[in-house]
Amino acid sequence: MRPQSDSYVNWHSRGFRLVGLFLLVLFVGIFSSSVAADSAATTDEFFFLDGTLAPGGSVNPVYPNFTGNRDFNFALTITGSGPVAFTLRNASNTIVWQGNVQAGETLWGSGTLTLGQNHMTLLNTGAASAGFELYLYDLPAAPYVWSGAAVGIGLSSEARVHFPSDGLYTFNLGVTSGKYQFLLDDMYIQKTAVSPTSVTYFVPAGTHDLSIVQDSTAGAAWQVSISDVGASNNSLPYAKAGGGLAGDDPRFAEEWLPIALGAATQLNLELSVTGADGDNLALEVLPAGQALHVPLPDVYAGETTWSTLDLPEGISLIHLTADVANVGTLGYELTL
């Protein structure tokens, strides 16, 4: 039975139990925790800590890393009051991650643990008790399911995922509440999710940075389900659709769509835009291997336009941007 006190921490073992690994600083409490052996599988959790923090209470676990650098993702869920300030320092006392996690959130972040004692601190800065669950995971590989929740004022979630080979991956973007943008790397995939949707994009083999940027008012409860790899390149026709692009909100003003071609191709691009009269969407293409973007004519709500493109072999990027003067949100249908 859980002890009757204002602060409580529970440390469950996976792999083996270590006693006295960390100093816990709370006003009142009984504590236990767990780590797993360094040989854990790449999709496994290797550290878990949960409990309740009194107002102003803190807990300071230490993770002893015995085998050199260890890349990780973490997930931190806060219930009750908040925010809870979370800081993680590596064995050299360098801050790996630092920020506030709000009540009602499951926030993700990533970093690298170094050889030696890696220190964490969770501090309840709220006016009432806060429950928390903290997980540290080795980096996963696709296929993979990633989910969380964010309030409007909260930080964006980030994680790193390994894609084992070049090819097309399907991303099922779940939306339970609010809306968000899903990003893979910088200016590669950027996709708005206002309702559940499924999209397929080419992703090069390797470890990539994933991000969730939630609506600044409504927040988002989200899930990203990543498939196993499919075909090696895109085929034509290449058709994509979207909505919720808002020029007056930098979080939702643009999208990036990659297309991977197995050979140089001359093609036609059709773009239809829906929204308020006078609102428009800018379109440009960054051909594979080129540094300069190719701008195409702006498309206004209610219009369907056609353009001709010569795209080389490789990965080209399509960039859509809503005008800052728009009065509403835009939807689009794009076909190559």
pLDDT tens digits for range 254-308: 999 999 999 999 999 999 999 999 999 999 999 999 888 899 999 999 999 999 9
| pTM listed for this prediction | 0.90
d(CA 300, CA 276): 9
Percent of the residues in the chain that have a pLDDT greater than 90, as a whole number: 85
Specify the pLDDT at position 44. Answer: 84
Does the structure show a pLDDT above 80 at 32? no
**Could you tell me if 80 and 95 lie in one domain?**
yes
Percent of the residues in the chain that have a pLDDT greater than 70, as a whole number: 87
Specify the pLDDT at position 17. Answer: 33
**Could you tell me if 132 and 199 lie in one domain?**
no
**Could you tell me if 220 and 260 lie in one domain?**
no
In 3D space, the residue among 294, 301, 291 whose CA is nearest the CA of residue 318 turns out to be 294
d(CA 157, CA 106): 9
DSSP category for residue 218: T
- Structure tokens given for 277: 């009269």
| Per-residue pLDDT tens over the stretch 119-136 | 999 999 999 999 999 999
**Could you tell me if 16 and 124 lie in one domain?**
yes
Q: What is the CATH number of the domain that holds 145?
A: 2.60.120.380
In 3D space, the residue among 43, 230, 284, 9 whose CA is nearest the CA of residue 120 turns out to be 9
Exposure string for 204-239, b = 16+ CB within 10 A, e = fewer: eeeebebbbbbbeeebbbbbbebeebeeebbeeebe
**Could you tell me if 16 and 119 lie in one domain?**
yes
C-alpha distance from residue 130 to each of 84, 101, 170, 293 (Å): 8, 11, 37, 49
**Torsion angle of the four alpha carbons 141, 146, 150, 155, in this order, in degrees rounded to the nearest 10:** 0
**Could you tell me if 161 and 86 lie in one domain?**
no
d(CA 123, CA 60): 9
* Structural domain contains residue 13: yes
In this structure, are residues 201 and 114 in contact, taking their beta carbons and an 8 Å threshold?
no
**Could you tell me if 158 and 125 lie in one domain?**
no
In this structure, are residues 112 and 70 in contact, taking their beta carbons and an 8 Å threshold?
yes
| Per-residue pLDDT tens over the stretch 198-239 | 999 999 999 999 999 999 999 999 999 999 999 999 999 999
In 3D space, the residue among 226, 209, 246 whose CA is nearest the CA of residue 321 turns out to be 246
d(CA 67, CA 317): 40
* Structural domain contains residue 275: yes
In this structure, are residues 189 and 235 in contact, taking their beta carbons and an 8 Å threshold?
no
Of the residues 231, 262, 282, the one at which a domain ends: 231
Of the residues 231, 259, 289, the one at which a domain ends: 231
* Structural domain contains residue 1: no
Of the residues 91, 106, 138, the one at which a domain ends: 138
Q: Please say whether the dihedral angle defined by the alpha carbons of residues 305, 310, 314 and 316, taken in this order, is positive or negative.
A: negative
Residue span of the structural domain in which 192 resides: 140-231
Does the structure show a pLDDT above 70 at 24? no
**Could you tell me if 150 and 100 lie in one domain?**
no
**Could you tell me if 248 and 333 lie in one domain?**
yes
Tally of structural domains, the chain:
3
**Could you tell me if 152 and 133 lie in one domain?**
no
**Could you tell me if 26 and 103 lie in one domain?**
yes
* Structural domain contains residue 2: no
**Could you tell me if 14 and 131 lie in one domain?**
yes
